[in-house]
Structure 1
Amino acid sequence: MLLRGKVALVTGGASGIGRATALRMAEEGARVLVADRDGEGAARVAETIRQAGGEAHGQACDVTVEAEVAGMVRAACDAWGRLDCAFNNAGVAPAEALPLAEIPPEEWSRVLGVNLTGVFLCLRHQIPAMAAGGGGAIVNTASIAGRIALPKAGAYVAAKHAVIGLTRSAALDHAGQGVRVNAICPGYVETPLASRSIERRREAILARVPLGRIGTVEEIADAVVWLLSDRAGFVTGEALAADGGHTSN
């Protein structure tokens, strides 16, 4: 059990990679706060964990609202006395594929608000909570879009590149407090967020993936749990690609 006895928090935990990771955290022994803008969805995931014999709470949280982020972190600490692990996974996809010069400013703000500022706000409150307990580990969801450019996704690419920079800065700034910060960079994975893009471009995507297939949410969850565990105790500031070799081309 890689996370036995640890207190973990997941944002964007109601579906996709977040849901799979919350379930895997619980299987690995963690007590899990499942947070999502969809509070009912988060509660359902928490109930699934409890039915399997684990400990979990669900909570509604919009990561772009600092008061809600602070409340989320406080809820984990109130429930279990501390915070050891966090997976900052909440994210949004572009509303439509547009060249950079055609992206409306409000769409730019929406995409960066959730995918970048939301991660910053989570780090801002998670790191002090972990430091107060002697340290911890955080994983932020970046993307292959944080390692390479994708066409007609300028706001998303900018946000995910910035998440990797933010991750490395946080890792440097807070290593002395015992807090490790890494990022996961999934490739194309079968999730509700990616389903439209995958179905529209499946053959073109597969042609770029050396392993020749789309990833699963469980594979990403396994990588995240390892990064959060003590087995990755000498890993910080890393942006780990889990993309079937996509960005190795």
Structure 2
Amino acid sequence: MLISRKYASRYTSDKANAVYPVEFVVRAFLGTYPGLHMPRDQYDGRRILDLGYGDGRNMPLLKNLGMKIHGVEIAEEINRHVQERMKVLGIRVELKVGTNAHIPYGSGYFQYALACHSCYYVEPGDQFCDNLAEIARVLETGGYFIASLPMTGSYILKNAKPVSDGHYEITNDPYGLRNGTVFRVFGSKQEIRKVFSQFFCDFNIGYCNDMFWGIHQKVWILVCRKKENKA
């Protein structure tokens, strides 16, 4: 896909080995908040899926927590580049090619899944619920899903084309990477609960509303758990 080539070029052009975690990820795993319920003493030795990991910026944090890191990205070039970066940093990772709706791991393999600015990308022919079903499949029952989701009014949605049921085609990406791709966007906490509740429960929902010098980023931040399958 075109976006695969663009993303591969974007991430492999960065030759620096230092990477820095996203703030909400640090807060989710290490913070103490009245509306967040994820035990901080259960990370060591647990398997985590870093879905759409980009430049690997959250991997040093996950390594410091003692987690076994597995990553999925859309291009093998990204995997090779980040594998070398993590090798330099002394971080052991397993990286595979896949998408949000096609994750190359067995059912129930992970205790945690992290999707930092990634799980809402929807491939042609898919719907966001296909992404959710696949993420839930690779999580064990009770496993934690930590994610960010686009909020209505975020910069990336300027001039975006409505597609269907909360899905939008991006047309005005200031970074020139995502034009033509489809995002799932959420307007409220209630909408998140409604969509996610088919597969997940125990919702901890917050949001970030940041103005970075002309880039107004608005995202929901979510921690939830995989529901027991009673079928």
TM-score scaled by structure 2? 0.51
CA-based RMSD: 4.6
1:126 and 2:126 matched: no
How far is 1:85 from its partner? 1.0
Residue 113 of structure 1 aligns with an amino acid whose one-letter code is V
Q: What is the aligned length?
A: 168
Shift in alpha-carbon separation, 1:51–1:139, aligned structure 2, 3 A: same
Report 1 or 2 for greater relative contact order, CA contacts < 8 Å, sequence distance ≥ 6.
Answer: 1
How far is 1:62 from its partner? 3.1
Greater shift after overlay, 48-57 or 143-152?
143-152
Which SS does the other structure have where 1:9 is aligned? strand
Q: Is the 8 A contact 1:70 1:125 kept in 2?
A: yes
Larger strand proportion, structure 1 or 2?
A: 2
Distance in 2 separating the partners of 1:88 and 1:136: 14
Match of 1:145?
A: 152
How far is 1:50 from its partner? 4.4
Shift in alpha-carbon separation, 1:44–1:23, aligned structure 2, 3 A: farther
Match of 2:114?
A: 87
1:168 and 2:193 matched: yes
Distance in 1 separating the partners of 2:151 and 2:225: 19
Shift in alpha-carbon separation, 1:148–1:51, aligned structure 2, 3 A: closer
Which SS does the other structure have where 1:136 is aligned? strand
> % of aligned pairs identical?
12
Listed one character per residue, the Cα deviations across residues 225-245 of structure 1 (whole Å, up to 9, x for unaligned) are xx66xxxxxx669xxxxxxxx
Shift in alpha-carbon separation, 1:150–1:52, aligned structure 2, 3 A: closer
How far is 1:168 from its partner? 1.7
Distance in 1 separating the partners of 2:110 and 2:190: 24
How far is 1:82 from its partner? 2.6
How far is 1:34 from its partner? 1.4
Q: Is the 8 A contact 2:117 2:147 kept in 1?
A: no
Match of 2:13?
A: none
Q: Please, which runs of 5 or more residues in structure 2 have no aligned partner? A: 1-29, 31-39, 162-167, 171-182, 227-231
Shift in alpha-carbon separation, 1:116–1:137, aligned structure 2, 3 A: farther
Match of 1:105?
A: none
Distance in 2 separating the partners of 1:36 and 1:163: 28
Residue 146 of structure 2 aligns with an amino acid whose one-letter code is V
Listed one character per residue, the Cα deviations across residues 148-203 of structure 1 (whole Å, up to 9, x for unaligned) are 9954235269722179667423653445xxx65666755458xxxxxxxx6xxx3x
- Identify which of 39, 44, 64 aligns with 1:4: 44
How far is 1:8 from its partner? 0.8
- Identify which of 9, 13, 17 aligns with 2:53: 13
Which SS does the other structure have where 2:109 is aligned? coil
Distance in 2 separating the partners of 1:184 and 1:115: 29
Match of 2:65?
A: 28
Match of 2:143?
A: 136
Match of 1:101?
A: none
Q: Is the 8 A contact 1:13 1:89 kept in 2?
A: yes
- Identify which of 77, 98, 111 aligns with 1:61: 98
Greater shift after overlay, 115-124 or 27-36?
115-124
Q: Is the 8 A contact 2:128 2:184 kept in 1?
A: no
Residue 9 of structure 1 aligns with an amino acid whose one-letter code is L
Greater shift after overlay, 155-164 or 27-36?
155-164
Distance in 1 separating the partners of 2:153 and 2:186: 4
Distance in 2 separating the partners of 1:57 and 1:161: 31
How far is 1:10 from its partner? 1.7
Q: Is the 8 A contact 2:151 2:187 kept in 1?
A: no
1:34-49 aligned within 5 A = 34-49=71-86
Residue 130 of structure 2 aligns with an amino acid whose one-letter code is L
Residue 115 of structure 2 aligns with an amino acid whose one-letter code is N
How far is 1:87 from its partner? 1.9
Q: Is the 8 A contact 2:45 2:68 kept in 1?
A: yes
